[in-house]
Amino acid sequence: MRPKHFYQKTFITALLTLVSLVASAAVPDNIKKGLEDFKAVIHLAEYDYAPFKFKVTNKNKKEYNALKRRLMKDLTKGRRSWQDVVCAYVGWFGDFHFGVYGNNEIAANYFKYTRKRINYHELMEIYDPKMLSCKINEDTWLIRFPSCNGTQELAENFVREYKASGCPNLIIDIRGNMGGQDESFEPLLKLLYDYPDGKRDGTIFRYTKANIERAGWTLEDLEDLGYPTDIEHAPEYVVKIADGAHMTFDAISEYPKKAALIIDNMVASSGEQSVLNTRLVSHRTTIYGRDNTMGCIDTGNCQIFESARKPLVVQYSTTYSMRYEKGTTVDLTGIAPDVRITLPYPKRLTDNIDEWVLWVADDLKKQ
């Protein structure tokens, strides 16, 4: 004969199961699907997002778990939409390479929950930096380069124009450069190069099946990259760029004698890598700006995760910089200029020679 408390316990367990089933049945289908989408994004963060182990540590694990529970509860009870819950969750990480997009409304909602950026459209009459290559005065040439998105050939043309100008000083203005491909800036970097001992921070790839599939790599591609082809038994993290790798070019250009790089808070990703690389290889270049860069370079090599219900998509990084290991990350602060420009913001920044460029040209002349 079983003891009385056994039947009481069994009854309570059955009752709780029944209540759970009834509650589950009461959840509308759209909320159930939203929960599935949200759980998929959580899985993405915890199993594929490269710097997760640095973002969620023993210090903030309770806060992170409480955030998940709160968002799940809000979604289940219909207090918040699934899109808003996803935006709040992803925004908590504070990584602009871990973002939620799909349309303007979704993107705006995501930016409510992440780190603040400076809105130059509110501070200037026109903020729309465009490609430009021209002479400022007899001493100084200007190259405005607001994008690294497939612009390497244009950079090569600008270099040829500068070399033909005979100007001893050069200003490269990358305000508004939110990135693209690192290679796009390389022709300009070669022009500035004068220090052969620059060493790059290494990059680590989170080597998961999902990340490999989203990158579209075949086994042959993995072999070419020097990555393990036995994915199931490979380490979770593999080296993409070795820490301390030297950055050198074939020759040091005689000109420019003095150079400047102008930055702002919209410089991000490959734009920021251009700043870091310039500091690595060019002693003759001074970084000017009023504001720090955006802070979007400690992670990279992004892939896209599409939710079950479009248009929402999540962009996330599959690599992290060894700056995480060394405690020298820059994303929370951005990259500071060497010289702070104390002038007011210019009224217009398009394909014009604005007040800041003239101030920097004058400052180079005085050096």
pLDDT in tens, 83-98: 999 999 999 999 999 9
| Mean pLDDT within 341-348 | 96
**pLDDT given for residue 26 in this prediction:** 63
**pLDDT given for residue 169 in this prediction:** 98
Q: Report which of 143, 139, 46, 202 is spatially closest to residue 362, judged by C-alpha positions.
A: 139
| Mean pLDDT within 299-314 | 88
pLDDT confidence bin for 324, thresholds 50/70/90: very high
Would the pLDDT of 285 be above 90? yes
Q: How far apart are CA 314 and CA 106, in angstroms?
A: 11
Q: For residue 354, what are the contacts with CB-CB under 8 A and spacing of at least 6? A: 346, 348
pLDDT tens column, 96-114: 999 999 888 999 999 999 9
- Residue 315 phi/psi, 5-degree rounding, is -95, 135
**pLDDT given for residue 94 in this prediction:** 95
**pLDDT given for residue 193 in this prediction:** 96
pTM: 0.86
pLDDT confidence bin for 11, thresholds 50/70/90: very low
Report all structural domains of the chain as residue ranges with CATH numbers, in order of start.
Answer: 25-111 (no CATH), 122-366 (3.90.226.10)
**pLDDT given for residue 15 in this prediction:** 41
Q: Report which of 175, 139, 134 is spatially closest to residue 157, judged by C-alpha positions.
A: 134
Neighbouring CB atoms inside 10 A of 279's CB total 16
Provide the percentage of residues in the chain whose pLDDT is more than 70: 92
DSSP 312-346: -EEEEEEEEETHHHHT---TTT-PPPSEE--SPPP
Residue 337 C-beta-side C-alpha neighbours within 13 Å: 22
Residues in the chain: 367
| Mean pLDDT within 165-180 | 96
pLDDT tens column, 210-240: 999 999 999 999 999 999 999 889 999 999 9
**pLDDT given for residue 279 in this prediction:** 96
pLDDT tens column, 243-281: 988 888 989 999 999 999 999 999 999 999 999 999 999
Would the pLDDT of 333 be above 90? yes
Would the pLDDT of 341 be above 50? yes
**pLDDT given for residue 22 in this prediction:** 40
Q: Higher confidence at residue 22 or residue 324?
A: 324
| Mean pLDDT within 324-342 | 96
Would the pLDDT of 202 be above 60? yes
Q: What is the mean pLDDT of the chain?
A: 91
Question: Cβ(337)–Cβ(287) under 8 Å?
Answer: yes
pLDDT confidence bin for 18, thresholds 50/70/90: very low
